[in-house]
Amino acid sequence: MPSRSILHLDMDQFYAAVEIRDNPALRGKAVIIGSDPQGGKGRGVVSTASYEARKFGVHSAMPISQAWRLCPHGVYIRGNMDKYAAVSEQIFEIFESVTPLVEGLSLDEAFLDVTQSRLLFGDAETVARSLKLRILKELGLVVSVGIAANKSVAKIASDLKKPDALVIVPAGTEIEFLRPLPLKKLWGIGPKAEELLAGLGLNIVGDLQDYPVDALRERFGEHALGLHELSMGLDSREVAPEREAKSIGRETTFEEDCRDGELLRATLASLCEEVSRRLRRHEFRAAQLSLKLRWTGFETHTRQQKLDPASNHGPDFFSAAEPMLQHFLGKDRRSVRLIGIQAKMKP
């Protein structure tokens, strides 16, 4: 059976890029999209930072006050989510012009399965180059693309040579492709996990590939097999189009494990708004909302709340999710490495 052709497309510095496109005077400047920094006293988080801002250490999900300390001369812009959502609609229309198998991860990121599109549009590389060119010509924006036989490897590939990347991993070369990469490149391995693995003498993906799974299980328990499979480039998940999905979710892994309640609340609010926009895009409503927290050490907990009536509005989601977050934080004060929500569709 021929291998699958999976694309992972990730818009480069999306919110900042839209603002720079619309105001060329911002080009070359450290543009930071987020809440008002209030001279370093503001609350909230960075949504996106331009590459010029990233040189100063600013990154998404960072407290806006910390961004100010790192880059006080930056251009701070309160994000316009309605504008970004409208541009996202245009991007996804371009994606869906080559395949119906489009799985959106956020407003600016998606998986495409183009396996069955070869006869109409050519091989995966041809499709990827065509999409990059259309997005640049029609929208004035740049997208990075990874091509592989599965989702995990395609996502890693798209991030390797940003901006304007096109990285191809031929089927059968996944192990060799991943082997020299730092462990943090694997999808789902954050700073704390990287530190734990380093304590075992594992620093690059090849080290993890060679490490006995039984020994890994002693340290990571039920997560050991998943870590090993990630290192080997194994991933059988299908691209799940949102129109066929029973649920739509979004999650964020923090650059550094987080204990700041305000930052967690601000991140949760952003996730709620993003998922609600994706639901509205397809005229869906959610009847149940799930909150997921992953603590330092990979322990993961979830909690659900019914939505009555069903909704696709961010404030409704946050009203349901915020008490669940407080429930978790009231029981456990460990640092959080990942927070996510999932909206289950109304039947």
Closest CA to 108 of 246, 305, 250: 250
Cis peptide before 309 (omega within 30 of 0): yes
Please state, in angstroms and rounded to a whole number, the distance separating the CA atoms of residues 207 and 160: 19
Quick one: 143 and 284 in the same domain? no
Quick one: 142 and 253 in the same domain? no
pLDDT in tens, 44-61: 788 899 999 999 999 888
Is 176 annotated as catalytic? no
Quick one: 259 and 218 in the same domain? no
Question: Which pLDDT score, from 0 to 100, does residue 63 have?
Answer: 86
pLDDT in tens, 274-329: 888 888 877 889 999 999 998 876 678 899 999 989 999 989 999 999 999 998 88
Quick one: 78 and 155 in the same domain? yes
Instruction: Give the domain extent around 201.
Output: 174-231
Radius of gyration, CA atoms only, the chain: 20
CATH number of domain containing 265? 3.30.1490.100
Domain count along the chain: 3
Q: Which residues contact 81 (CB under 8 A, 6 or more apart)?
A: 273, 277
In the three-class reduction of DSSP (H, G, I as helix; E, B as strand; rest coil), residue 197 is classed as helix
Quick one: 180 and 261 in the same domain? no
Task: Considering the candidates 19, 109, 174, 274, report the single residue annotated as catalytic.
Answer: 109
Quick one: 53 and 158 in the same domain? yes
* 138: pLDDT strictly greater than 80: yes
Quick one: 21 and 43 in the same domain? yes
pLDDT in tens, 210-234: 999 998 888 888 888 988 999 999 9
Confidence band for 347, pLDDT divided at 50, 70 and 90: low
Question: Which pLDDT score, from 0 to 100, does residue 53 have?
Answer: 96
Contact of 261 with 327, CB cutoff 8 Å: no
